Structure 1
Amino acid sequence: MDTFVERRKANRRTHERRGTDDKPEDTKSESERRQSDRRRFERRESERKKMEEAMREHAQKRRVILEDIEEAYYEADINGRFVFVNNAMCNILGYAREELIGQKYWYLLDKPTAKTLYAAMDKSCKTNETVNLLDMEAIHKDGKKLISETSVSIVRDTEGTIIGFRGISRDVTKRRQMEAALKKNQEELIRKNKEIDENRKHIQHALEKLEKTHEELKTSQLKILQQEKMASIGQLAAGVAHELNNPMSFISSNLGTLDKYVRRLIGFIETQSEVIKSFKDASAARKINEKRKALKLDYVINDVNGMIRESLDGSERVKRIVKELNSFSRMDEEEYKEADINECIESAITIVWNELKYKSTLEKNYGKLPLTKCYAGQINQIFVNLLINAVNSITERGIITIKTWYQDGSIWMEVSDTGCGIPKENLVKIFEPFFTTKEVGKGTGLGLSITYEIVQRHKGEITVKSEVGKGTSFTVRIPVV
């Protein structure tokens, strides 16, 4: 009841004040105006105090909340002195609250970081926005450097005047250390991977070199075997030539003597026949003529001359073969001297004629060639290899053509065949050692490789053209020396 009465009295007093205040200014007395101004000032001051109190209460509540967060929170005045720090900031920096309050913030920072923070506050003042800073460095009480992510904003009073700034920081030292360690490990891993790649390349290079060396060694071994084989064949050829040479000497001599004797006998028989025809005893002449016909002496006389000529030709051919065998057996011992290339080709044809005659028709088109210095036996070997290749490419019967000519200071030689031809993909490989399209055991794959080396030794070149189903043509050029 008393409260109600007091409330009504208060309301009446308020109404009376309002009634006085509501009077027009020109009707108020001086004292009334001063009283009205004082009441308005008191109301504004009361409202300001209430607002400040409310703000203090709000700030106090906010600080109570901020005490329990994990991030470091601080407030500083316009001079940069800390006016509030939470527990997290004290824990992170290692200081007691009393040590930080009133302390200027830049004592906890190095100069570059202090400048960065000052620039951030200046930016926040101009933009009235929060500024985020990454990797801010602070100094722990024990001197260790700390790394933090910080957000900075300005603090204003009720009238909007800047009175300081606030910030919230998260300690990322361990994370940055882990990131740095991870980056270092990644860089180390990248470096190791590069080393591994380099080592792998070196190993691969070494393996390729080793494989190449192995192939070269294999090639050398097989070439040595081939050379030994050729040497054995040469020794055999020399032996055969020697064994043939002795009997062929007296066979040729006897055939020559036999030819003379037969001519004498034929001459005697012819003279005898003329004498018998002059006899007056016709019956005796008739008997002799009948006997002559029965024995076919006329046919024998004609045939024996042909047989002797063929035998002499055969003996001459055997002599030629023996000569070529002797030449072949001395191929590795020959000198670098002048030779007739056409004669070298003829020598090669003699060696392989038994291979050629059954499957091919040989056509020769020799040009007029100057003499040139060369290893004649090796030139023979070139054509032995090319002719054997040519005849092996012919399945039933074909034509092998040999052509030589002189042009631009070089001797040109061409061996063509009408065989099966060489596939395009094999043309680039035919001069490689051991490359062969023959069945296993039927070829070493060294013939054309040796041919290529011999041509290179004579500072020449060898080329090939081929079309499957039509044939192949090898062209050799060696300079005249």
Structure 2
Amino acid sequence: MPCEPEEPAPTTATPRAAAALRKPPLSRGERPCAGLVGLSSEAAALVRNELASEGCDALVCDGADDLVARLRGGAFDLVLADVDALGLGPGEFTARVKREAPQAVVVVASQDGTAAAAVGALRAGACDYLLKPLRAEDLRERLRQALARRRLGLSVRQRTLRLAYVNELSGSFSASLDLHEVLRTAAGALRTLADFDLAAAVLREPAGDTSRVYPLTPGAEALWPSPVRVPVAESALCESFHGNQPRLLADLRREALPRDLATLGRDGFCSLLLLPLVSKQAAIGAVALASRSPGAFDASDLDLLQHVSDHLASAVVNARLYSELKTLSANLEDTVRERTREASEVRQRLESLLETAGDAIITVDLEYRIRSWNHGAEQILGHTRVDTLGKSICSLASGEAARSQLARVLALAVEGETSASVETTWVRRDRKEATLSLTASPIVGSGEQLVGVLVIARDITEQQRLQEELFHSEKLASIGQLAAGVAHQINNPLGAISGRAQMLLRLSGPPDPDFLREQLGKIRADCARITETVNDLLGFARKTDTVKQRAHLGILVDETLEMVRHGLSAQKVRIERCYADHLPPILASANHLRQLFANLITNALDAMPDGGTLTITTRLLPATDERPEPAVEVAFADTGTGIAPEDMARIFEPFFTTKPAGQGTGLGLAVAKRIVDFHNGRIDVESELGLGTTFTVQFPVG
């Protein structure tokens, strides 16, 4: 009843146990030995005969105590016992043997053929359970299996021991950063694991195409003359260097040797093992082991010794790095001192630049507490550095709108936006108002970790005033273009008023009261039309208020169309409205948007001198990754002459115009772009020469 081979327990080893690491025989002698106990002389003779056929000796022990004592000394590889003669149960005997010699392979013989007896022995650790009487035909195969189990166990334990030793070598290699000490450690490790007569390490020099031979045993310089040139034609060393693979020559006498190995063959060496030293997938050298015995190395040597070479490669790299570090450290203090001085100068210059900058430059932490406050911030925002450090920057903003806008750009910067900006009205400490352009950017520290926010505030009050002047100038120019249409809108009701007045004057008798009331009502309605038209024109001409209020795009577009109604009619331009239902309002200056729409509609009229169609479309755009908030869009698509491709890049430049001299100021689209930017919007244009142009404007939902 044989059992499966058991998994040997992991075995650890230290370099002191080196003698046990080379390929040992199965037991103390060259042949394995079995301990026999309790067998009759006839059975013992039968077992001896079968074991001898398997190349195994046998020794009869005088009872269980004698057997156990010999096992403690490692005398036996196999135990075969007749437990009936010993007066012990199968499980009891096996357990006693295993307590004293856990690695022993135990075969139990008994007349007890019950399953309980067999299971008890096997559970206690027996390898096999034999029923008496013992028969030669059964015994041979069962003993062969037991010996095979013992050999397998020893082989696995031996490999485990050698692997444990190789793994512990990493600590031995790392104990020193001196290259020669590392090579001495490698020589000892290689000698522990393999039998060879000559060994050398060949290390490629850090610079150049040469390598140096480092003897690991006396006389190893004979392997190659130093320095070794790399690459070498027809060279085993070159193959090891460039293939990153070990090379085993089992019998040099039968090999066509490369020229760099010819010396070995002449000196009587028969076996050679070349192990590449590889670091970061690049060969830095090789280890060469030579033996005067043919077949001195096998596949198991190759695997384990390559592990040693891998440890050695890492240790060589570390030793070289340490040597370079020692060389560099001689100048390190001067370098650090110089860099520190330069850094101090840069810091001083930076602090001076920040302090003298005209803009307000402020840094805050992730809780928006102020950490720095330059002189520009004192001048623009009206608060001193002493008053602000440590306070929340949002607490300095006056009014809910300013605080909300500031908090929004700070949040965008914290989320990673590199340049979040907003324009807001800031009330200084002296109660004076200033229009500021605020920009917030993330401050990233070591490890790409966000540590704060940089806030730059620029006073654009004067810039905005000049911009309003520009808007107003363009508006006045637009009024001139609207004059004809306005005159027509006033002239029609004036003519009606004049006609009705003349009719009333020509009446010969007293007028009928109802008739008089009707005519006066019509006159009053015509006067109201004139008043509305004049008020619209005056409102358009008035300097624009920059205060933003909730406004509806469709209403503003319709109001603008009413102002240019005469021009549309005169040029036979048909208007098509495609408005989306229930568009949300936006936050805007109504007069600004009227001027924007007037400029775009006027441009469309100029592009359609012979008539055409102007299609005005509005729609709601949902939020996207690029646009985190929803927006409303209005598009003006004409069927006019279009814009030449070479002019597309310049149409928003101030004073650029394609109209004939004396027609247009070249400011219309430039002002339109400024108005869109002022409202944090976006304007795009698409045009095809001869087919028409579409201007598309988007505004964030208010």
Report which of the two structures shows the higher radius of gyration computed on alpha carbons: 1
Shared fold per TM-score greater than 0.5: no
TM-score range, shorter chain: 0.3 to 0.5
Structure scoring higher RCO (CA < 8 A, sep ≥ 6) equals 1
The structure in which a higher percent of residues are helix is 1
Give the TM-score of the pair, scaled to structure 1.
0.38
